[in-house]
Structure 1
Amino acid sequence: MIPGAAEYDVEVSIAESEVERLLEVTPSDVEPAPELSFCRNVFVPLTTACRYTCTYCTYFDPPGQASLLSLEEVRDICRRGADAGCTEALFTFGDDPDDRYTQIHDQLADWGYDSIHEYLRAACEVALEEGLLPHSNPGDQTLEQMAEVADVNASMGVMLETTADVDAHAGPRRKLPGQRLRTIRNAGELDVAFTTGILVGIGESWRDRAESLLAIRELHERYDHVQEVIVQPVANNERWTDGSPGLETMRRVTAMARVALPEEVSVQVPPNLAPARDLVDCGIDDLGGVSPVTDDHINPDYAWPALDELEAVAEHADVPLRERLPVYERFLPADLRSAEFDGVLADGVDGRAEQASDADGRTWLSPTICRALEADDDAGGRFRATLE
């Protein structure tokens, strides 16, 4: 039983035979992807408050020390990102930060906001005004919290990390995998294009890794909403000194992810944390969001690679490097897809993509996001250029 699954009313059935199959996977069982993609973004750490105290995380600050960006600061970051050609505003904060941090709650109240999600909505609207597509990763969310911000986001995300109960999640408010799975399910119920992933090296076993990937797959097969799965190694920092997983571990777990997941779900490794050059033959097809403007505020000791470094990874793999939007093309309305992508659909390579956007009138992107994509301005031109 996955810890917290019953408490959060999440039903996930994982077949033992599928676990055993994944445990036998090696890099030789997968084919390299025909191309690599990445997204140009700005990182907007809305607040450094979090109700959790995971032992590997340097993102959160203790109560009394946590910061909260003003909307003016958000606008400045987004404006610099747009000027640098970015398409994504990546909003992050810890889980329910106004629940444990009275200072953050009081600051929000002073600014006229009842909750951090109400404030996140205002921040996403600022990003849209500055010509960026919001992608929010605000930790665990109830259905009501996610619904409050879904229509002003092109996509959203949360890392599952693991379905195991690990000591790295220790603390007075222990992170429960069932709650993370509920957040992924909530995204499916709201038709939100979603990013999730596993964190490798925090005390989980190989069986735990297989079960985590299969849990993600089951929820995706139920809702068809997961766009990418990140395979991220834990990294040494001032709070975590137990080391990172070795290269052979990363090669094997990356191949396992590629075998576990449907073809339309991308497998991503963060190039500032993982040895991407040594993983391109293990099935990865995406290098994630990379910023020419801001730091990786979750992993500040590990700088983003420059574009020429990503190009070097692609050159090493002898595949093209393509820029993408924060929402994958299969979730776009048909009239916004590139001609190349429509050609893929016509060839029948990815019939699920056509179904995802068109069948039964299902709509992935809100009118707000579609208007931003279709805008006849610098931002709209930048988005369309990325798709071409």
Structure 2
Amino acid sequence: MITDQEQYDIDITIDEADVERVLSTAPQDVDTPSELTFARNVFLPLTTACRYTCTYCSFYDVPGDATLMSPEEIRETLRSAAQAGCTEALFTFGDKPDSRYRAIHAQLDEWGYDSILAYLYRACEIALEEGLLPHSNPGDLTEQEFRRLREVNASMGVMLETTADIEAHSGGRRKSPGQRLNTIRAAGRAGVPFTTGILVGIGETERDRAESLLAIAELHERYDHVQEVIVQNVVPNERSDFEQPSVETMRRTVAMARAALPEAVSVQVPPNLSPTRELLDCGVDDLGGVSPVTDDHINPAYKWPALEELQEIAESAGLPLYERLPIYRRYLPDELRSSDVPAAGNDRNRRWISDRVSEALFASDETGRQYRRIATRTQLFGAPN
């Protein structure tokens, strides 16, 4: 049951027959993908301040302890990333810090920014200046905020996590399913290529997972903006006593995702958190963003695999491995899409990227050429044995 839809005027109806279809899907019912993809990124935790206090999250810091990256730190990190061949600048931070984080607001004001989103805009500009394509996860946004930020982002995202009303989201600063669905809808209306996903093992049921996946699918059917859906298992950390879901649970959930989502939407698992090798035959076709230069700041105890490890994972399943950009090929301009990749959306004239991002993609320098090389598909490390 999807809760609090009326508050956000969300009209999503999940058909019972679809729920039963997804719930009845087993790993053997879905096809193994024909390839695997990943993005080479750099992870920038813009601020650890957050208005939410989810019980499983170790990313946010309480007022007085929260950090804020300076413009100098941002540029230095991005330069190191560019030298390492990264193409994606992943900006992640807690949802809109409120008045509890007075020190954060005071620092932003001193630097000349009236909000964290205004500062994010500048951080994305720095990324473009240093030769990386921004992908921002700034929490819940309005359509107007998405339209502003799409000017400097290749793609954006927010995790739905679940449509269930769970205890892990309870309290005075609760994250609500309706609010998250509203954010995914707002991104679609603004024409933002988007990443979302579910979090497995935070108190939801298997039926909740099916309904969450089908809710994402319905919003995608309206706007055709969801690039990928992450199926992420919760992991133990200093704040959480949730047990990591079993391999069998993850296999079933990944298969359910493949059955619930349109074929064009990728199913992703994070290779530093998931039993990835055991999931490849369940419909996984993307391994997400992997950083050669920074930690996973949301799950710092879980190290990113090296690129050679990704290749070993792909080879174990007999799959070719391709590097991709943060924006998927079907959202790219016609000049960067091969004829076998149809354009996203029903409107052939719809532009999914802004002029500023397009300028970066078509730049005549080495960075622009690198973007185009990756967009036109060069298999990493050659063919698998």
TM-score bracket, shorter-length normalisation: over 0.9
Residue 67 of structure 2 aligns with which residue?
67
Residue 225 of structure 2 aligns with which residue?
225
For residues 257 and 178 of structure 1, do their structure 2 counterparts lie closer, same or farther at Cα, with a shift above 3 Å needed?
Answer: same
Residue 343 of structure 2 aligns with which residue?
354
Give the whole-Å Cα distance in 1 for the aligned partners of 2:29 and 2:162: 23
Letter of the 1:354 counterpart: A
Residue 202 of structure 1 aligns with which residue?
202
For residues 324 and 260 of structure 1, do their structure 2 counterparts lie closer, same or farther at Cα, with a shift above 3 Å needed?
Answer: same
**CA offsets 1:205-229 (integer angstroms, 9 cap, x no match):** 0110000000000000000000000
Give the whole-Å Cα distance in 1 for the aligned partners of 2:5 and 2:140: 14
* 8 Å CA contact 1:157, 1:195 repeated in 2: yes
Which SS does the other structure have where 1:7 is aligned?
helix
* 8 Å CA contact 1:117, 1:148 repeated in 2: no
Residue 326 of structure 1 aligns with which residue?
326
* 8 Å CA contact 1:272, 1:304 repeated in 2: yes
Residue 349 of structure 1 aligns with which residue?
none
User: Which structure 2 segments of 5+ residues have no match?
Assistant: 377-385
Which one of 367, 371, 379 corresponds to residue 359 of structure 2? 371
**CA offsets 1:66-99 (integer angstroms, 9 cap, x no match):** 0100111110111111000000000011111144
Same amino acid, percent of matched pairs: 63
Instruction: Please tell me whether residue 247 in structure 1 is matched to residue 247 in structure 2.
Output: yes
Give the whole-Å Cα distance in 2 for the aligned partners of 1:253 and 1:295: 26
Deviation for aligned residue 1:4: 2.4
Structure with more helix by fraction: 1
Q: Kindly tell me the number of residue pairs found equivalent between the two proteins.
A: 376
Give the whole-Å Cα distance in 2 for the aligned partners of 1:198 and 1:218: 15
* 8 Å CA contact 2:146, 2:192 repeated in 1: no
Deviation for aligned residue 1:304: 0.3
Greater shift, 274-283 or 169-178, is seen at: 169-178
Which SS does the other structure have where 2:236 is aligned?
coil
TM-score, normalised relative to structure 2: 0.96
Give the whole-Å Cα distance in 1 for the aligned partners of 2:197 and 2:319: 24
1:85-234 alignment, distance < 5 Å: 85-234=85-234
Which SS does the other structure have where 2:218 is aligned?
helix
* 8 Å CA contact 2:46, 2:92 repeated in 1: yes
Give the whole-Å Cα distance in 2 for the aligned partners of 1:200 and 1:122: 34
Deviation for aligned residue 1:328: 0.1
Q: CA RMSD in A?
A: 1.1
Which SS does the other structure have where 1:17 is aligned?
helix
Give the whole-Å Cα distance in 1 for the aligned partners of 2:348 and 2:324: 27
* 8 Å CA contact 1:52, 1:171 repeated in 2: no
**CA offsets 1:354-386 (integer angstroms, 9 cap, x no match):** 353x83521100011000000011211221121
* 8 Å CA contact 1:154, 1:326 repeated in 2: yes
Give the whole-Å Cα distance in 1 for the aligned partners of 2:74 and 2:369: 22
Give the whole-Å Cα distance in 2 for the aligned partners of 1:302 and 1:186: 32
**CA offsets 1:105-135 (integer angstroms, 9 cap, x no match):** 1111111111111110000000000000000
Give the whole-Å Cα distance in 2 for the aligned partners of 1:295 and 1:269: 17
Letter of the 2:312 counterpart: A
Which SS does the other structure have where 1:208 is aligned?
helix
Greater shift, 371-380 or 212-221, is seen at: 371-380
Deviation for aligned residue 1:145: 2.1
Which SS does the other structure have where 2:6 is aligned?
coil
Deviation for aligned residue 1:100: 3.4
* 8 Å CA contact 2:235, 2:244 repeated in 1: yes
Which SS does the other structure have where 1:25 is aligned?
coil
Give the whole-Å Cα distance in 2 for the aligned partners of 1:379 and 1:167: 46
**CA offsets 1:243-274 (integer angstroms, 9 cap, x no match):** 11000000000000001000000000000000
* 8 Å CA contact 1:5, 1:178 repeated in 2: yes
Letter of the 1:364 counterpart: W
Instruction: Please tell me whether residue 266 in structure 1 is matched to residue 254 in structure 2.
Output: no
Give the whole-Å Cα distance in 1 for the aligned partners of 2:253 and 2:2: 20
Letter of the 1:359 counterpart: D
Deviation for aligned residue 1:170: 2.3
Which SS does the other structure have where 1:163 is aligned?
coil
**CA offsets 1:310-331 (integer angstroms, 9 cap, x no match):** 0011001001000000000000
* 8 Å CA contact 1:91, 1:138 repeated in 2: yes
Deviation for aligned residue 1:336: 1.9
User: Which structure 1 segments of 5+ residues have no match?
Assistant: 346-352
Deviation for aligned residue 1:65: 0.6
